[in-house]
Amino acid sequence: MNALVERKPLKHRLIAWLGKLYPMAKRWLYHFHGGVFPKYHKSLSNRHPLLEDYIPDLLTLPVQQHLGVATEPLVQVGDRVLKYQRIADTNKGLSAPIHAPTSGYVTAIEPRILPHPSGLPGLCILIEPDGEDQAQPLTPAKSPATPQALKKLVHEAGIVGMGGAGFPTFAKIPDQRGCIEHLIINGAECEPFITCDDQLMQHKAQAIWRGAEIVAQSLGIPRVLCGIEDNKSQAIEAMNDALSGLSTASHEQTSFEVHPVATVYPMGGQEQLTQELLHLEIPSDKHAIEVGVLMMNVATLAAIAEAADEGKPLISRYVTVSGMGLEHPFNANVLLGTSFQALAEKASPKTALTYPLIQGGPMMGISMHSNNVPVIKTTNCVLANPPEAVEPAMPCIRCGECMDACPIQLLPQQLYWHSRSHEYDKVKDLSVFDCIECGCCSFVCPSHIPLVQYYRHAKSEIVRIEKEDAAAELAKQRHEFKQARIEKAEKAKKARLQAKKDAVKKQAAGKKPATGAAAAKARAAAAAKKAAAAKTTNQSETSPSEKPAQTAREKAMAAAKARAQKAKNQADNAPNTDSATTSTAEDKRKAAMAAAKKRAKTRQKTETGASPLKASDNAQSESDDKRQRAMNAAKQASKKGESSVSQEAGTKADTTAPTQDKRKAAMEAAKKRAKARQMQQTTPDQTESDQASDTED
């Protein structure tokens, strides 16, 4: 390490000298691939003093300012809230509570446009400050000693990653001590224009180190590295000076280091800074903490220090207000919920702010759909760059500049080809999900192709397709399950029927002395099911061979057949009434049985006969028919409802309430439909369901 430190300056000087001859020699100054050197414009906002204690007229606090689940408001419209009061929280999942930045009244809880690329509205709590800035008493927490205590502290203070991602910080902290070897303080701030972290390091260096100390102590981290780009010499100096403010005890436990790093975009990326400081690549399928690295933004650490030592939740943050369209850019300690427009107006814009403001820097920021969006926990910059003429995109000339600039060493150009032709599986194979959307590729593209948007679109498309596939798979499974269930139910029903039939037969056999005759009857009945031709052949064949022994049986059979025939005829007309005409109870029972059999037979016929054909025509007509009927019924119902409503509205003759009326009409329609269906019923399934609905009525 020492040798490296000694060698570095010489190498740096050499490359700096070379850089004058060959600008791209600067790429040899750091350890990750690619990177670009945009114009930084940092002095625009850096040369002006920091603005503090600005309370705007209205604070708009979205209930979701982080990745994960939205919080739920804990206050109501009209409530007076105090500074630091918790106004929204949830326990439904990954989230961070939200606190009132100043005292005032809740004027509304309603959807407002969010600082989000979609420009969609989301639920916000609107607070009108009363100007008193009356604070709720704070209870400084003890310095957390365990990871759990730290997590609780960080969560309750509502701290999220303030570098831009907005991942709730507590979720990033591991549960066990000692699994983190390096805490990296991210002070690189590589985006052009933005100087808020620079200012924070100059003004609150003590707090940043204190935050790092708290995290290091509670997690048992042996080494804390602070990476700062070497164009922020004042911040490096301030951080070095503030190191002495830490207690000697913690200096003994942990080594605190400040590392100036090369000024290159995107040095501030987690993977890039880790590689630069530790020469360690975070495997793409692992989180940083799995390789023993925890990275925190300077602002996050300062917020942790304030939460631990003073009990202050996160209610404000440093924001850079800058851009080529502003006369007096500045940095400010801004209350969360302050509108972009108000901040930009304070910087005296050169022309009216008719163009969209940008949240974040020009490389990774997002342009706003409304300039009235609020500052949230992840807003580090409000950028007012008047739009310039956008060069039309030319076709890709495969020059490879994008590939040379990519800090992840992806193949942006191939990703682009596949994204454009919607070959998302190939896009995924080319590791599009490793893309950090830093914008280097679009920045250098001579054809001005909006590459990053292609990747963003491809990513969200891949996610959507995967979701859709999962949903389709689920639907398929559920459908198959339902089919299986219906089939099973049908089988069970059949089995039940069969069992009943068998039982009845057995009973009959037990009662009758002439067992053979009964059996013959049963057989005869079975034979009756067959076609007439089969019957005749059966007769002619069986009778001569079994003549000597079975004359009685034959007689019985003939009688049974005749009876069965009779019963069949009767059943065709009206089975129940006709069966009453037969004299004996035995006959009656037989007739009923035959009728039942016959019914079963016809049912079977329709079933077996229809189902193979069902495939196309039947099902089509059936479902169409069903639909048609349903539609008619629904129309009727709605018409009735309508007419009754109009009646009521027009003449007031009807005294019933409209909803009741509608309901009644609907019920009637339902009944009608049920009846109609009963008349048309063909399959047993429907019969049942309709009967069921009948009984329900």
Partner 1 sequence: MIEALIVFLALAVIFGLLLGYAKIKFKVEGNPVADQIDNILPQTQCGQCGFPGCRPYAEALAEGKSEVNLCVPGGHEVMIQISEITHREPKEMDETKAPPDEPMVAVIDEDLCIGCVHCIKACPVDAIVGATKMMHTVIEKECTGCELCVPVCPVDCIDMVPQRPTPQTWHWPEPIANSLERRS
Partner 2 sequence: MSLPYSSPYVHNASSVRRTMLQVQIAAFPALMAHIYFFGFGITIQWGLAVITWLLVEYGLLKLRNRPVKPFISDMSGLITVTGIVFCIPPESPWWVIVSAVIFALVFGKHLYGGLGYNPFNPAMLGYAFVLISFPAEVTQWTLPTGISGHHLSFLESAQIIFTGQFPPGLMHLTGATPLNELQTALINGASAAETWASSRFNDPNLVNGWFWVNVAFLIGGLWMLYSRAIRWQYPAGFLGALALMAAIFHAIDPDTYAPVSFHLFSGGVMLAAFFIITDPVSSSTTPMGRLIYAIGIGVLVYVIRNWGSFPDGIAFAVLLMNLFVPLLDQYTQPRVMGHTRR
Owner of token pair 């690329």: 117
Q: What is the rounded CA–CA span in Å between residue 420 and residue 219?
A: 46
Single out the segment in contact with partner 1 by CB under 8 A; choices: 274-282, 301-309, 481-489, 565-573: 481-489
Give backbone dihedrals phi and psi of 631, rounded to 5 degrees, phi first.
-60, -45
Edge-to-edge strand ranges of the sheet holding 255-261: 255-261, 223-229, 182-187, 293-297
Q: What is the closest distance, in whole angstroms, from the C-beta atom of residue 193 to partner 2 in the complex?
A: 9
**DSSP letter assigned to residue 245:** G
**DSSP letter assigned to residue 326:** B
Instruction: Give the x-and-dash track for 116-135 against partner 2 (CB under 8 A).
Output: -x------------------
Type of residue numbered 267: M
Q: What is the closest distance, in whole angstroms, from the C-beta atom of residue 74 to partner 2 in the complex?
A: 35
Query: Where in 637-656 is the site for partner 1 (CB under 8 A)?
Result: 637-638
509 binds partner 1, rule: CB under 8 A: no
Give backbone dihedrals phi and psi of 349, rounded to 5 degrees, phi first.
-65, 145
Q: What is the closest distance, in whole angstroms, from the C-beta atom of residue 444 to partner 1 in the complex?
A: 17
Tell me, by CB under 8 A, how many residues bind partner 2.
65
388 binds partner 1, rule: CB under 8 A: no
25 binds partner 2, rule: CB under 8 A: no
Nearer to partner 2, 303 or 415 (CB): 415
Q: What is the closest distance, in whole angstroms, from the C-beta atom of residue 121 to partner 1 in the complex?
A: 9
Cis peptide before 23 (omega within 30 of 0): no
Type of residue numbered 395: P
In DSSP terms, which residues pair with 293 in a beta bridge?
Answer: 182
Q: What is the closest distance, in whole angstroms, from the C-beta atom of residue 120 to partner 1 in the complex?
A: 5
454 binds partner 1, rule: CB under 8 A: yes
Type of residue numbered 14: L
Other C-beta atoms closer than 10 Å to the C-beta of 225 total 22
Token pair belonging to 616? 């196309």
Which one among 348, 626, 649, 694 touches partner 1, defined by CB under 8 A? 626
With CA atoms as reference, report the closest residue to 43 among 324, 342, 343: 324
Single out the segment in contact with partner 1 by CB under 8 A; choices: 152-160, 404-412, 455-463, 585-593: 455-463
**Element holding 598 (H helix, E strand):** helix 585-613
CB 160 within 8 A of CB 378: yes
Q: What is the closest distance, in whole angstroms, from the C-beta atom of residue 404 to partner 2 in the complex?
A: 8
110 binds partner 1, rule: CB under 8 A: no
Which one among 58, 135, 289, 411 touches partner 2, defined by CB under 8 A? 411
Which one among 484, 514, 631, 657 touches partner 1, defined by CB under 8 A? 631
CB 437 within 8 A of CB 456: yes
186 three-class SS: strand
State the distance between the two ends of the chain, measured CA to CA, in whole angstroms. Answer: 86
Token pair belonging to 58? 């209205």
465 binds partner 1, rule: CB under 8 A: no
Q: What is the 3-state secondary structure (H, E, C) of 394-423?
A: CCCCCCCHHHHHCCCCCCHHHHHHHHHCCC
352 binds partner 2, rule: CB under 8 A: no
611 binds partner 1, rule: CB under 8 A: no
Q: What is the rounded CA–CA span in Å between residue 573 and residue 553?
A: 30
Token pair belonging to 655? 């005294």
362 binds partner 2, rule: CB under 8 A: yes
- Beta strands (DSSP E) in 158-200 are 182-187
Which one among 92, 464, 491, 601 touches partner 1, defined by CB under 8 A? 464
Give the one entry of partner 1, partner 2, none that residue 446 binds, where binding means its C-beta sits below a cut-off of 5 to 8 angstroms depending on kind: partner 2
Instruction: Give the x-and-dash track for 275-304 against partner 2 (CB under 8 A).
Output: x-----xxxxx-------------------
Which one among 492, 634, 649, 657 touches partner 1, defined by CB under 8 A? 634
Q: What is the closest distance, in whole angstroms, from the C-beta atom of residue 275 to partner 2 in the complex?
A: 8
93 binds partner 1, rule: CB under 8 A: no
Which one among 472, 492, 514, 526 touches partner 1, defined by CB under 8 A? 472
18 binds partner 2, rule: CB under 8 A: no
Edge-to-edge strand ranges of the sheet holding 104-113: 59-62, 121-129, 104-113, 80-81
Token pair belonging to 470? 């999962």
**DSSP letter assigned to residue 131:** S
Give me the residues that bind partner 2 (CB under 8 A), please: 22, 24, 32-33, 36, 38-39, 117, 192, 271, 275, 281-285, 355-356, 358, 360, 362-367, 385, 387-392, 394-401, 403, 407-411, 413-414, 430-431, 434, 437, 439, 442-448, 450, 452-453, 456
Give me the residues that bind partner 1 (CB under 8 A), please: 64, 114, 116-118, 120, 122, 392-395, 420-421, 450, 453-454, 456-457, 459-461, 464, 471-476, 478-483, 615-616, 619-620, 623, 626-627, 630-631, 633-634, 637-638, 659, 662-663, 666-667, 669-670, 673-674, 689, 692-693, 696
